[in-house]
Amino acid sequence: MKHGFYQAFLIITVFLSGIPLHGQESSPDMYFYADVMINASNAQHRKFAADEFHKSFIETLRDSASLNMSFDSLKWVSKVAPEDGAFRLFSWQLKEDKDNFKYFAVLQKADGSIIEFKDTRPVLNGFELREFDHNTWYGALYYGVFPFKYKKQTAYILLGYNGHNSVTNQKYADVLLLEGDKAVLGAPVFVKKLEKDEERRNRIMIEYADAAAGRIQFDREKKMIVFDHLITIFAEGPGQGAVPVPDGSYEAYELKGKEWVYIEKVFNQVMDKPPREQPVLEGREGKDLFGRKKQDK
């Protein structure tokens, strides 16, 4: 595509999509590539756009002026920020094919410095027991962050989603620690009391059927991480078989001191929905994370 034709096409696209050509949030190219990255039917086009968006977005964040940019109109990127204003974490996904997603994330601190996360899957063993950092990341789209005290510093619970494959999705509650220019993921703060011992995990993970709405949410009032209790059912159709689905009851980890202690059953009655601040990542059957119809390429 010739340069002049591309610019004309870009300007028309931006005009129709309502993205301002002038304003505080970078060039229209970034928005154009983000849109193609999510919506293009051709996998090669999505991949090319993802590469271009990544370069443009990182370049924008490295400019100190970006601290005054909200990026609220960049609707294809998830943005979470803790109440203490220490950072904001951007994350997004690329659908490579029907069974594979690639994830991207970048953390921008309050001083403007950034930490890029690198998706280095697959993680073969001990996922809930391992410690990761931004260079050995498992990939996630983050939708919640909550601070708590761990040892002598502030740590953050991160709630994340991973499309995993065409059969199941995953959600996580992880621990983020900032150590200089390094982001550490995972800490042994999730405790399950046993009869004569205890079991510790670095993070919580649930894996559930793609057609279901598995949930991990934070209950601020009770200071709990509430998540679906899963049971296995046998689903019909190609590649289905036994799949995990929520049964309407909920488990939790409750913050006690500097640890999160396991609770087997949170409520006395079965509920249709857990308490949560807002609907997040629901109604995904036949749709992608952003509510658009799923594509098979």
Q: What is the pLDDT of residues 134-156, one digit of tens each?
A: 999 999 999 999 999 998 899 99
Residue the block writes with tokens 């002038």 = 22
List pLDDT tens digits, range 226-285: 999 999 988 666 656 788 999 999 999 999 999 999 999 987 544 555 444 443 344 444
Q: What pTM, to 2 d.p., does this model score? A: 0.81
Task: Please report which confidence band the pLDDT of residue 180 belongs to, taking 50, 70 and 90 as the band edges.
Answer: very high
Percentage of the chain beyond pLDDT 70 is 79
Residue 79: the pLDDT is: 96
Residue 239: the pLDDT is: 58
Mean pLDDT in residue range 208-216: 91
Residue the block writes with tokens 């002598």 = 152
> Residue 4 and residue 164: Cα distance in Å, rounded?
39
Task: Please report which confidence band the pLDDT of residue 14 belongs to, taking 50, 70 and 90 as the band edges.
Answer: very low
> Residue 168 and residue 211: Cα distance in Å, rounded?
8
Residue 101: the pLDDT is: 92
Residue type, 34: A
Alpha helix locations (H) across 156-287? none
Beta bridge partners of 214: none
Mean pLDDT in residue range 52-78: 93
Residue 23: the pLDDT is: 38
For residue 17, give both structure tokens: 């999509």
Residue 293: the pLDDT is: 53
Residue the block writes with tokens 């509430």 = 226
CA dist 174 → 22, 47, 156, 194 (Å) = 38, 28, 8, 22
Percentage of the chain beyond pLDDT 90 is 64
Beta bridge partners of 176: 156, 185
